[in-house]
Structure 1
Amino acid sequence: MAALRYLLDTGVLMRHLRGRRDVVRFTRGLGRKKHVAVSAITHLELLVGAHQEEEYDTRKFLSRFRTIPVDADIGQRAGQLIRQQRAKGRALGIPDAIIAATALQHGLTLVTFNPKDFGLPGLQLYPLDLLP
């Protein structure tokens, strides 16, 4: 198996599922390389947001990517990130903290449309907010 390099944020996959062409091209290109993963939290967020008739297609789409489960190390790291941000007067929600902790724990670059949500020390970002 090829080494993982990227972790896709939920917003990237939501835009793909909604048919945004530039995002579809981008994710298809990454997916072919087998360097891409998603967090178990992303599964949760996408399936909660899917209508019943979309669930099968959403699950099928998610099966293209390796899913990284939330383990104790990721949970602890997410908690640290939340506390660090709180000490700086910034809010970091639990889902974003878990996604960021997953990327940090596995040395992955986080692909996101929301780089401002993830201004965390040591976290490498691939911002898509400037896609045409």
Structure 2
Amino acid sequence: MNGLKYLLDTNFIIGLLKGDEASVAIASGINLAICSYSAITRMELLSYPDLTEVESLVINRLLARMNYIAISPEIEDLTIVFRQQHKVKLPDAIIAATAKAQKIGLLTFDKKLAAKL
């Protein structure tokens, strides 16, 4: 076992960055060292057109406290199956497949995605 327990998706991390009460309440009892994020989440967070240098720095500092999970062939295969079974956007399917491949929980506020897991 890799010691990871959670995969934080993009909307959850945005909530943390904005100080959203629900995100902060959930994360307050969790050590970020047992959390991870997908390559997709990193791309989504850092690709906003109006992102400032300070915001980029804050995002990178938060991500540095967690474990990065690259897209592997296993994640690709699970993504394909997930999209065949559920009508979801490709980034959401990759994130769901990443959690499944790692056998960890997904922390998300996307109720439609959570219902498909």
TM-score between both structures, scaled by the size of structure 1: 0.77
Secondary structure of 1:110's match?
A: strand
The one-letter amino acid of 1:18's match is K
Deviation at 1:83, TM superposition (A): 1.2
What displacement does 1:80 show? 1.1
Q: Secondary structure at the match of 2:107?
A: strand
How does 1:74-93 map onto structure 2 within 5 Å?
A: 74-85=75-86, 91-93=87-89
Amino acid of the structure 2 residue aligned with 1:47: L
RMSD of aligned alpha carbons: 2.0
If asked which structure has higher relative contact order (CA below 8 Å, sep 6+), I would say 2
Which residue identity does 1:75 align to in structure 2? E
5+ long unaligned stretches in structure 1: 86-90, 124-132
* Letter aligned with residue 106 of structure 1: Q
| Amino acid paired to 2:105 | T
Q: Deviations over 1:4-45 (max 9, x none)?
A: 11111111100111122442343243135x221111111111
* Inter-partner Cα distance in structure 1 for 2:103 and 2:22: 26
TM-score, normalisation: structure 2 = 0.86
The answer for unaligned runs of 5 or more in structure 2 is none
Between structure 1 and structure 2, the one with the greater Rg is 1
**Amino acid paired to 1:24:** V
Matched-pair identity in %? 33
Higher helix share: 2
2:5 — aligned with what? 5
Shift of 1:76: 1.2
